[in-house]
Structure formats: C-alpha cells, structure tokens
Amino acid sequence: MALYDFDLFTIGAGSGGVAGSRRAASYGARVGICEDSRWGGTCVIRGCVPKKLLVYGAHFADDLKDAEAYGWRLKGKTFDWPSLIAAKNAEIDRLEGIYRKLLSDSGVKLITGRGTLVDPHTIEVAGKRYTAANILIATGGHPVTPDIPGIEHVISSNEALDLKELPKRIVIVGASYIAVEFAGIFSSLGAKTHLVYRGEEVLRGFDGDVRAAVAENFRHRGLKLHPRTEIARIEKAEKGFTLATKSGGNLEADVVMYATGRAPNTEGIGLEAAGVNLTPDGRVEVDEWSRCLVPHIYAVGDVSNGINLTPVAIYEARALAETLFNNNRLKLDRANIPTAVFAIPPVGTVGLSEDKARERGAAIDVYHARFRPLKHTVSGRQERTMMKLVVDRASDRVLGCHMVGDDAPEIMVGLAVALNCGATKRQFDRTIGIHPTSAEEFITMRDKTPEPGPVPDFKIGAEG
C-alpha cells in the first residue's frame, strides 16, 4: 500500500502547475492538482494570451490606416470594442477547456478548490485532505496598488481585459511591461491615453536605448507620457475621475488603471505550517532546483523568487518532473533568457543590456541600427526600429541583442538560440541575411558606437 495518496500534488493550475503535472503523470507518477479559480492561471486567463489578443486587435488600427497608402480604399470602417472582448472571451473559454482536458487525459486528478498545506505532506482542499510525497506550489501572483486616497476607484490589468466599453480617456499609472502594453492597446484603439510613472523612462531594467526608443515611438503615436510624476489622490468627478499629482497638477480620465506591481499568492495557503521559507517580499524561497528549504516542497512561477516569466515557469516545472520521475536531473540555465514586451511596436531582448555588460568590468563594443522600416516609407508613419548588439571585446562573443520594432519578439527567439550557442560577432557578420527584412540589420551592423558617444542618426528605409 502506498504511503501517500499522490507522488506529486500541485497547488495551482496555471502554466507552470499544468506543465509540471502533465509531465510527471506521463512518467507514471500519481498526480493531483487543485485550482480555486479558472484553469489556466494568469497567463491563459488574465495575462499573456488575452492581452496579446487585444494587441492583435489594436494593431488593425494601424494596418487599416497604412493600407490606404498602399492603394486600398476602405470605406465605413468602424471598431466595436464589445465584439473584440467577446471574441477574446470565447478563445479563453476554449483554452481553459483544453487545459482541463490535457490534464485529465494525462491521468492527473483534477480537484476544484483552494489548496492549503496542513503539514509538510498534507494538503486540504474543500474540506478533504490529501497526502503527497512531493508538493509543488504554483499559485501565481496578483496585482497590487499603493495605499493612496481614492485607490478604490482604480482597475488593474485584470479588469482592463473585461471593460464593457472602450474608454475615451484613460490614465495608466506605472511603467512596467504591463502598463506599457495596455497603453499601446488603448492608445491605438483611439482612447486618449496618459502614462504616468515616477522614473525618467519606462521599462526599468531594460537596456537604456530600448527604453528611450519605446518612449519615442509612443510620443510619435500621440500617447501622453508623464515621467517623474506621482499620483497623490484620486477623486470621483462629475464625469470620470480627477487625479491630483504630487507636483500640483491634475489629470482627467474615464478609467484609471494601475500597473505598479504584483505580489505572490502566498497568504492563507498554510506555508508556515509546512515550514516553507519566504523572502522579505513574500515570495517562496527556492534554490536552483525550484526546491524550498523543506526538501520535498517546490515552487515555480510568480509565487517563487525566480524569474517571473511564463516560459520559465513551464521549463522549471517540467525540469522538476524530469528530475523527480524520469531520473533526468534537469535545471534552468538562467543565462540568455529572451523576453518581449508587446508594446506597439513591440520589444524583444535577450542577454545583457549595455549597462549590465559594463558592470562586469570587461571592455565591450556596442553596435546600433536605428531606421525607419521600409513599410513606413510608403505609409508615412514616423515609427522607428531600434536594434542593438552588445559584444565582449576580448572574446568577440555577443552578450546581448535588443530590438524595438515590428516582429521583435519573433526575431529574438532565433537570436536567443545563437547566444546560447556562444555566437560571436564575427559569426553574425558571416551570416547571409534575407533581403529586404528588418532582421538582416542584426547581421549587417559594422560600425561600433564611439565610447562614449551618441547613438547614430536615423537611417531612412534601411530595409531597402
């Protein structure tokens, strides 16, 4: 008779929890998983997927305008926000059903309800207790807002995905990728959009030229940026809301959205009872194997102190299943993890920023390409693409690739493979590109940026 009910019990059915549970079950492990909300977690239900669908919808605003420059005559075109939201919801419903089916078809036992740790090997869900040899915590995170007067009037990204109508005026507070992405969505769809943030530039932690390029493109699009600005209070007005800034100014909006941070879902799930250690900011502390101080309890995704990206959570959870149930010790290599910001136009990046590379102390070479894409030379759009390579001078190894422009996330996946193979600038130079494309700029950049020195001037129609 088995000592425990399950070999692995997962609390939370988001991307990481689902991936790890399915992989473990495929190796014959007895797996249970519980979820007290919708199956699919943040990414599928209220994050990456629905947001990307709205980004696609917003892109058509640009495409329709550009089409006229290319000879198309489009009369009577209108946009209907409720139709977009309905289509998004239908797709999320479909995906949730797929996630549930994938789990059940894999032999995973699905349990509906909030999972709470009773002791290091016992989980209680909806009044029933289950025991497990190993426990995976994959409960994700949630948006948080500051404690200021009137904060009850604001929405988060969760509610922004389900607004009943498109606001005419929206103020978005924050400069993270979530804030930047929603600013692009609402602005492109015609809302008068203000982005308010405390710093000098958006996207703290990204390469400086990426941050500047995103802000510049936003300004070209008419989006109003308010750097070095903090909100003191929010008041209900006759129409919408009034936001008072700490510098004495006011902003008016129909909707106020905050995207100023997220916190892990660690409260009320019995972590203390199981002896799980938390970091000062409340995340589950894990080692390189996703293991807590309690050796048979693990955590992945936004609830942990790891890198909070969906593909990372999936990889960590699958690596855990490989290690525990397939005799294949596997762990995440945290170097050269690509990431994207689905702004309009988007950001793609992998490897070290220029600042991070300089902090290492070794000499580097920096290459830039900034140009107006060929598509926009006909449409007249003022959007610019920015590309950048950071190279270790001694070894010639490419340390970082950064791009702001159409298709940046797609291009960056291939460059991530190159960086993980240790590609050098010489190997980039020897590669034959596809012409005319924007991507070929990554392998045709020849002139180093002087050190120190300004970014080179824009080129026009570089693809041509």
List active site positions: 435
- How far apart, in Å, are the Cα atoms of 244 and each of 148, 149, 262? 11, 10, 24
Q: Exposed e or buried b for every residue in 253-290, given b needs 16+ CB within 10 A?
A: bbbbbbbbebebbbeebbbeebebebeeeebbbbeebb
Bridge partners (DSSP) listed for residue 401? 350, 389
Residue where the block lists tokens 């640009």: 62
SS3 label, residue 427: helix
Give the up-direction half-sphere exposure of residue 41: CA atoms within 13 A in the CB hemisphere. Answer: 29
Token pair recorded at residue 328: 């294949």
Give Cβ neighbours of residue 414 (< 8 Å, ≥ 6 apart).
none
CA 380 to chain centre: 30
Strand order in the sheet with 347-351: 339-341, 347-351, 398-404, 385-392, 364-372, 459-460
Q: 155 - beta bridge partners?
A: 257
Q: Can you state the angle between helices 81-105 and 48-69, rounded to 10 degrees? A: 140
* Helix, strand, coil distribution of the chain in percent, nearest 5: 35, 25, 40
User: What is the C-alpha to C-alpha distance for residues 39 and 115, in angstroms, rounded to an integer?
Assistant: 14
For residues 119 and 296, what is the distance between their CA atoms, to the nearest angstrom? 12
